[in-house]
Amino acid sequence: MTDPAPCPFCSSANIKLFIGLSEIHDGEVHCENCGATSGNHPTEAEALAAWSARTVHNDLVGALKACHAQFNFYATEHRNAGKHEKAATNQRFADLCADALTRATGAAS
């Protein structure tokens, strides 16, 4: 079994995996630094998968935010330079990123 990934929220490597503590806590990954958890899962493997999914989700949201900012920047630059076709292309990608961020996080950012 692989070790749990670092915490997706605080980056701590102080991560513990709890198994079989009770009928409720069959498998749970817990960050000892900030208290984030995978939630309770029936098995160790499912708890680790849920923890990893949170990490991947946060990585994707971070990448989308960076792309959104970059495309917005170039849309503005091209618009200000009178390059309307390039501005429109960059704006289209910025809007795609914004829509994906809204779906991924439940809020525009």
**Closest distance to Zn ion from the beta carbon of 46 (Å):** 20
Residue type, 19: I
Rule CB under 5 A: say whether 31 interacts with Zn ion: yes
**Closest distance to Zn ion from the beta carbon of 35 (Å):** 7
Continuous segment of H or E residues that includes residue 18: strand 15-19
**Could you say which of 4, 7, 47, 75 contacts Zn ion (CB under 5 A)?**
7
Rule CB under 5 A: say whether 36 interacts with Zn ion: yes
Continuous segment of H or E residues that includes residue 85: helix 84-105
Rule CB under 5 A: say whether 34 interacts with Zn ion: yes
Crossing angle of helices 44-80 and 84-105, rounded to 10°: 160
Query: Nearer Cβ to Zn ion, position 41 or 54?
Result: 54
- Residue 88 half-sphere exposure toward CB, CA atoms < 13 A: 3
Residues engaged in binding Zn ion (CB under 5 A): 7, 9-10, 12, 31, 33-34, 36
